[in-house]
Amino acid sequence: MSATDAKAAPAEKSASASAAAKPAAGSSRLVKAGAELLLDALEEQGVEVIFGYPGGAVLPIYDALHRRTSIRHILVRHEQGALHMAEGYARSTGKPGVALVTSGPGATNAVTGLADALLDSIPVVCISGQVARKLIGTDAFQECDTVGITRACTKHNYLVPSAQRLPTIVHEAFHVAAEGRPGPVLIDIPKDVQFEEAPYVSKADAVLREAGVKAEIRASDVETAVDLMRRARRPVFYTGGGVINAGKGASDGLRALVRATGFPITSTLMGLGAYPASDPQWLGMLGMHGSYEANNAMHDCDLMICVGARFDDRVTGRLDAFSPASRKIHIDIDPSSVNKNVPVDIAIIGDAGEALRALLAEWESRASAEAPEEGRLDDWRARIEAWREVKSFAYARSSDAIKPQHAIERLYQLTRDRDVYVTTEVGQHQMWAAQHFHFDEPNRWMTSGGLGTMGYGLPAAIGVQVAHPDALVVDIAGDGSVQMTMQEMSTAVQFGLPVKIFILNNSYLGMVRQWQELLHERRYAHSYSDALPDFVKLAEAYGGYGFRATHPDELDEKIIAMIDAPGPALFDCVVTAEENVFPMIPSGAAHHEMLLGGAVTGEEIGAEGRKLV
Amino acid sequence: MSLNPSQSVYPVAGPAEEASECVLAIIVDNEPGALARVVGLFSARGYNIESLTVAETDVKRHRSRITIVTRGAQSTLEQIKLQLGRLIPVRRVVDVSAEEDALQRELALVKVVGEGDHRVEAMRMAEIFRARAVDITHSSFVFEVTGAREKVNAFIDLMRPLGLSDVARTGVLSIRRGIAKD
């Protein structure tokens, strides 16, 4: 049993020439300007919306866009917002998101969003303008080496050499963004190429390169995996964002397999929603702020089945003490994820949905022939129940101040009957949202997991709302993060996108403060924000709706008012200032060495006492 | 509350595995930026490049062959190959050093400045190494030497006391023996 095949040098990646029936050459062929060719290609790729910001080097594209009604354009307030909107759109629909930015500062502002999409494997196509070809390299106005700068934060990027190459490059870019492990792709188009005329090349005629290694799921690996699964006494599923990227079919496959086997299941931050949180086999999220039962199950298991997750440091904790007694099966579409951080016993390289269905078919064919030993998981389930009893997400309740966890719980309860999508910023509020807001469906939870980008949530929510105009889209935010991309409120108002920004306001950069408390003896260096804006007035200044809650008694009615507000709304939820996110795997510790919150339930420890724990 | 004394969020590194050398032939589309992607991957992920050689080898299909000599633990070398495979212009990654007897050659130009006995000794050594003198003055030679890297290293070491002045090397080239294609 080994993953040697995943290690083998990949075979030649072939070009997928899709029957390159060359159209008849001749002077009669219609030629168009590069800007028109770009839009033709975007239309053929099914693009309905572009998030963008105009500027000198993309003016021909905007001019062409002006004459079309087929593609909607959302004018952002900063290019970082355009990329996060494209990400939100992509994560909530499964289709690539598209951004359009100008050269120089437009492209450099897009870098954070590209890096974010790369680390979270989100399919995004970013089109940037570039100075005219003959000016490249002359330090021209608004020139920067965009392909050089973005090479490290894209899956692939292109500097378009001529209008003739443009349509094929656009088709290949969408293919690269979505195929295999998805990711961001940037197309840098010099301004003179946007004017240059050339014939269009349709998707069917374009000769594209493969974006990954084509891997067949081997029956022998599936059989061996099922052998291990049938013998396991302490199994656990560990799933990630890859299941969501693999589409609804993969989530369905996961649910069917988990239920057929009866194994417990946990998930990374990125994978929430692939398996319903309301199911009794669900252990909650794992990792640094994951549940006690999930992390202990990971540590003590004898078989770990990892699906579309990558053994990130926030998940594994200390590597040399990570799940020491388990065999590990890893299903991933990217062979470089296998054995990268943690060596595994069986690697299945391929699409998560296909792999899960193959495992289920094998599991069921065996089950009918010879039933697995009755009750072999009883002891394991009893241990998990004991861990559950610890109630690691519990917190000290308060009747005179709003606890951030309580605010999320109320938000969850009051939106349960809605078609709801949640985005977050990054920090304490993000972890509380992951712990206390529960998802039963994939593509409902948009968060910056890999890069940890403060300022992601508000624009991402706008992107989600564009894709789902009738849904309730809530950005669970912190008072620090939300100010990083706050200007996108203006975008939401301009385009009538009624996103709700629910700010857990503790006047601190809460996660920074928590780490300073735990690691730096409470020296709160520059983690307190004085002079915060009045978020209610700010919302009104933008033309949105503002709400504030400072007492638990008014929370519900204010949340309902926010939900009912007919436009974009900011909710300033003033919460206890020095709350910590628990449980927590401290730095350099292992899964079974979690810190639990000092207080458990009840009113016995108030807000003041809590600070002393 | 017991916390790790390192105060680092990142897990404590495990014991280092033993490093070995690896020669990779990377067949890429010859397009702008292809080399930058390969080299950027090595620097961004902290891999070593001991030598690097690149030129177009298939003019018709616009393919270049990049030969990289790298060093690392076995698991790191596997990661390098898989990470290279993710780059779009990379068509194939061949671990040439995994072949038992793959041919490896390097060319060096070695300038030796000296007079008298040193010149005679340098010339004698060059003959033994089958190095050609491609430029001669009354007080200098430029030798062209080809061979496996160890041979080139040995020749350069021997020239050191005899007035070694400058060295230019190509880095390693490699190809499989026999009819097998890379």
Mean pLDDT of the B22-35 span = 95
Give the confidence band of A12 by pLDDT, cuts at 50, 70, 90: low
Question: What's the mean pLDDT in A579-606?
Answer: 71
B115's CB contacts (< 8 A; 6+ apart) are: B138, B139
Q: Is-catalytic flag, A191? A: yes
User: Both B151 and B170 in a single domain?
Assistant: yes
Structural domain contains residue B163? yes
Residue B8 domain-assigned (yes or no): no
Query: In DSSP terms, which residues pair with B106 in a beta bridge?
Result: B147
Same domain? B51 vs B106: no
Higher pLDDT: A300 or B13? It is A300
Q: In the beta sheet, which residues pair with residue B51?
A: B69
The pLDDT of residue B5 is above 90? no
In whole numbers, what is the pLDDT of chain A averaged over residues? 92
Q: Is the pLDDT of residue B60 over 50?
A: yes
Structure confidence at residue A529 (pLDDT): 86
Q: What is the pLDDT of residue A369?
A: 67
CB-closest option in B33, B79, B89 to A336: B79
| Contact (CB<8Å) B33/A159 | yes
In the predicted model, is pLDDT for residue A13 greater than 80? no
Does B136 lie in the same domain as B76? no
pLDDT at A372: 66
Choose the final residue of a domain: B98, B124, B150.
B98
Catalytic residue among A511, A562, A584, A594: A511
Task: Chain A: give the shortest CA distance to residue B19, in Å.
Answer: 16
Whether B181 maps to a domain, the answer reads no
Which of A121, A151, A154, A179 would best serve as a mutation to test chain B binding (most B beta carbons within 10 A)?
Answer: A151
Residue A613: pLDDT band by 50, 70, 90 thresholds?
Answer: very low
Q: Is the pLDDT of residue A63 over 80?
A: yes
- The answer to whether residue B122 is domain-embedded is yes
Residue B9 is assigned to a structural domain of this protein: no
pLDDT for B87 equals 96
Helix (H, G, I), strand (E, B), or coil: what is residue B89? coil
Q: Poorest-confidence range of A245-254, A324-333, A583-592? A: A583-592
Q: What percentage of chain A reaches a pLDDT higher than 90? A: 84
Peptide bond into A276 cis (omega under 30): no
Long-range contacts of A527-534 (CB under 8 A, 24+ apart): A529/A479, A529/A480, A532/A479, A532/A505, A532/A507, A533/A483, A534/A572
Does position B6 have pLDDT exceeding 70, yes or no? Answer: no
Annotation says A516 is catalytic? no
Residue with tokens 């040193």: B118
Q: Between A and B, how many residue pairs show a Cβ–Cβ distance under 8 A?
A: 97
Model confidence pLDDT, tens digit, residues A385-420: 999 999 999 999 999 999 999 999 999 999 999 999
Q: At what angle do helices A510-519 and A428-436 cross, to 10 degrees?
A: 100
**Residue B8 predicted with pLDDT over 50:** no
Nearest to A313 among B11, B44, B86 (CB): B11
pLDDT exceeds 80 at position A20: no
pLDDT average, residue stretch A71-83: 98
CA distance A7 to chain B (A): 6
Predicted confidence band at A25 (pLDDT cuts at 50, 70, 90)? very low
Comparing A172 with B17, the larger pLDDT belongs to A172
Summarize the confidence of residues B34-46 as an average pLDDT. Answer: 96
Best of B12, B63, B88 to disrupt the A interface by mutation (most A CBs within 10 Å)? B88
Distance CA A131, CA A56 (A): 9
**Could you tell me if B92 and B118 lie in one domain?**
no
Could you tell me which chain B residue has the CA closest to the CA of A595? Answer: B1
**pLDDT, tens only, A231-287:** 999 999 999 999 999 999 999 999 999 999 999 999 999 999 999 999 999 999 999
Taking an 8 Å cut-off on Cβ atoms, the answer to whether A212 and B44 are in contact is no
Domain boundary among B98, B128, B155: B98
Asked whether the predicted pLDDT for residue A597 surpasses 90, the reply is: no
| pLDDT band at residue A606 under the 50/70/90 scheme | very low
Q: Do the domain assignments include residue B4?
A: no
3-class secondary-structure state, position A508: strand
Domains: count for chain B: 2
φ and ψ at residue B164, rounded to 5 degrees: -55, 130
Same domain, B54 and B82: yes
Q: Which of A36, A44, A79, A362 is catalytic?
A: A79
Q: How confident is the model at residue A57 (pLDDT cuts 50, 70, 90)?
A: very high
pLDDT digits (tens, 9 = 90+) for A226-235: 999 999 999 9
pLDDT at residue A611 is higher than 80: no
* pLDDT of A509 above 90: yes
CATH of the domain at B78: 3.30.70.260
pLDDT category, B176, cuts 50, 70, 90? confident
The residues of A whose Cβ lies within 8 A of any Cβ of B are 6-7, 9-13, 147-148, 151-152, 155-156, 159, 161, 176, 181, 209, 211-213, 313, 316-320, 334-336, 338-340, 343, 518-519, 586-589, 595
Is A340 an annotated catalytic residue? no
For residues B135 and B63, state if they share a domain.
Answer: no
Distance CA A349, CA A217 (A): 6
Could you give the percent of chain A with pLDDT greater than 70? 92
Residues B85 and B116 in one domain: no
Residue B7, pLDDT above cutoff 70? no
Domain boundary (B66, B98, B130) is at B98
Q: Does an H or E element contain A478, and which?
A: strand A472-478
List, in order, residues 6 or more apart from A265 with CB less than 8 Å away.
A236, A237, A238, A239, A254, A258, A275, A281, A282, A283
What's the average model confidence in pLDDT over A508-530?
Answer: 91
Tokens read off for A49 = 């919306």
Do B165 and B112 belong to one domain?
yes
A442, A308 contact by CB (below 8 A): no
**From the CA of B94, how many Å to the nearest CA of chain A?**
6
For the question of residue A578 being annotated catalytic, the response is no
- A570 or A2, which is more confident? A570
* Same structural domain, B80 and B127: no
Q: Assess if residue B182 is contained within a domain.
A: no
B114-132 pLDDT, tens per residue?
999 999 999 999 999 999 9
Closest partner residue to A587 (CB to CB) among B9, B90, B94 is B9
- Average pLDDT on A198-217 reads 88
Average pLDDT, integer, range A122-149:
98
Q: Which tops the pLDDT comparison, A610 or A308?
A: A308
Q: Are residues B78 and B135 in the same domain?
A: no
Which residues from B are below 8 Å from A17, CB to CB? Answer: none
Mean pLDDT in chain B? 90
Question: Can you give the CATH number for the domain in which B159 is found?
Answer: 3.30.70.1150
Residue B37: which domain range? 17-98
User: Min CA distance, A257 vs chain B (Å)?
Assistant: 29
- Residue A319: pLDDT band (50, 70, 90) is confident
Kindly state whether residues B134 and B78 are assigned to the same domain. Answer: no
**Is residue B145 one of the residues assigned to a domain?**
yes
pLDDT score of A470: 97
Residue B100 to chain A, least CA–CA distance (Å): 16
User: Which of A492, A472, A467, A471 has the alpha carbon at shortest distance from A482?
Assistant: A492
Instruction: Collect all residues of chain B within an 8 Å Cβ-Cβ radius of residue A213.
Output: 85
Position A603 pLDDT exceeds 80: no
User: What confidence category does residue B14 fall into, taking pLDDT thresholds of 50, 70 and 90?
Assistant: low
Closest CA of chain B from A159, distance in Å: 9
Question: Band of the pLDDT at A371, cuts 50, 70, 90?
Answer: low
Residue A13 has its nearest CB partner, among B1, B33, B91, at B91
Same domain, B47 and B73: yes
Residue A141: active-site member: yes
Distance between CA atoms of A270 and A566, rounded to whole angstroms?
A: 30
Checking if the pLDDT of A604 tops 80, the result is no
Residues of B in CB contact (< 8 Å) with A are 1-4, 6-12, 14, 27, 29, 32-33, 36-37, 40, 44, 75, 78-79, 81-83, 85-95
